[in-house]
Structure formats: structure tokens, C-alpha cells
Amino acid sequence: MTQRLVVHIVDDDAAVRDSLSLLFSLRGYPTATFASAEDFLAAVKPDWAGCVMADIRMPGMSGLDLQHALAARGMQLPVIIITAHGDVPAVRAAFKASAVDFLEKPFDEDGPVDAVESAFALERQRLDSSGAASRARGVLESLSPREREVLALLVQGLHNREIGERLAISARTVEVHKARIMAKLGARNIADLIRLAAP
């Protein structure tokens, strides 16, 4: 994994931004601060990694609005909501939108750090699986046209003889193609092949 994980702090209160940035910097976490959700959305790039720690109540867009805007863009950065005005509907809305945590101000040092560690663990999993999917796509593109045809029929659950009939080749030739496909994809069995070939 080559992407650097950054804590993106979004809060209209400069003192909160500065104190969180200092706290995370002292723990070795890179940070970036933004005074509003709009500023963050104007700057964010699709390849950013890490997490977002956003205040729920800010002038303009709220932290929940920011969560929804990121989801609408297809961005999966984990979000931690922070607030001085915690209430049950806000907590429910944050978690329904897949927030990693919901922290009430004032918080001790451990709360934000624990939340960021949880968010980064989720982000590492996402980046690892995204990298594996990208590698699998590259390998799939390396298959010959005939191998792709055989793979498509294998994924549909057809047996060698049925595939051979469909493609007007012998079952033995299908077996050879299947062995090559499995070797190229690093698949141990048909279940692996189906998982790797799934979109």
C-alpha cells in the first residue's frame, strides 16, 4: 500500500482544528485541516486516503451533509463525526451513513486517537482489497480472447463438455484453457475463479 493515510480535520472552530492537528501530529499521524465542508469538498481528490473527522454543526454544510456528499461522489473515506451538541437523532443519522465513530466535545486524547486508529484499520482493508481487485483486473485483461470465453462459461456453471459444445472445441481443449486461466489468475479451484472473475 503506497497511499499515505491522512486525518482530514473539518471544523469551523480554529482552536479545535489546531488542537486535533497537534494531538495527531504528536502521535505520528499526518493531518490536513479545513474550516468548512465546502473547503474540503473543493480540495478532495479521488485518490486521497485516510479518514475525515468532521464537526456535525458548521455554517453551511454540516458534517452529515459532508458524509452524504462524499458518498454521492463514490468516495469511501471513513468519517468520524465530532460535536458539542450530541443528540440521538444525529448519532443515528451519522451511523446510518456509515460513520466510524461519533465523539462528543470536549473529548480526552484517547477518544479521537482510538477513533482514527479504527478508521485507518478500515481504510487499510479497503485499500488492500482495492489493490487486489486492480491486480485481478490486470490479469483478466491478459487472458486471450478464447480464455475469456471459456472463463465466462465456467462462471456460468457450465462443465467442460458443455463449454466445448458451445465453442466448438473438444472438452480436452477446454481443460487446457481452464488450466492456463487458473495458472494466470492464481486460482486454486473454480470457486476462486468465480470470485476473481466477478465484476
Q: Encode pLDDT of 89-100 as tens digits.
A: 777 777 776 778
Query: Could you give the residue ranges of the DSSP H alpha helices within 27-109?
Result: 37-43, 63-72, 88-96
Is residue 156 domain-shared with residue 67, that is, in the same domain?
no
Model pLDDT, residue 132: 58
C-alpha cell at position 23: 494531538
Do 12 and 56 contact (CB within 8 A), yes or no? Answer: no
140, pLDDT greater than 90: no
User: In the chain, what percentage of residues exceed pLDDT 90?
Assistant: 45
C-alpha cell at position 46: 479521488
Average pLDDT, rounded, for the chain: 86
Single out the residue in 96, 113, 135 at which a domain terminates. 135
pLDDT digits (tens, 9 = 90+) for 159-197: 999 999 999 999 999 999 999 888 887 777 777 777 777
d(CA 13, CA 2): 32
Of the given ranges (10-14, 71-75, 130-134, 136-140), which has the lowest mean pLDDT? 130-134
d(CA 199, CA 194): 10
**pTM of the predicted protein model:** 0.63
d(CA 83, CA 90): 10
Model pLDDT, residue 1: 39
Q: Is the peptide bond before 106 cis (omega within 30 degrees of 0)?
A: yes
Is residue 104 domain-shared with residue 19, that is, in the same domain?
yes
pLDDT digits (tens, 9 = 90+) for 109-136: 788 999 999 999 988 887 777 655 566 6
Is residue 22 domain-shared with residue 119, that is, in the same domain?
yes
92: domain CATH number? 3.40.50.2300
Is residue 22 domain-shared with residue 87, that is, in the same domain?
yes
What is the domain range of residue 38? 5-135
107, pLDDT greater than 70: yes
d(CA 116, CA 76): 15
Q: How confident is the model at residue 33 (pLDDT cuts 50, 70, 90)?
A: very high
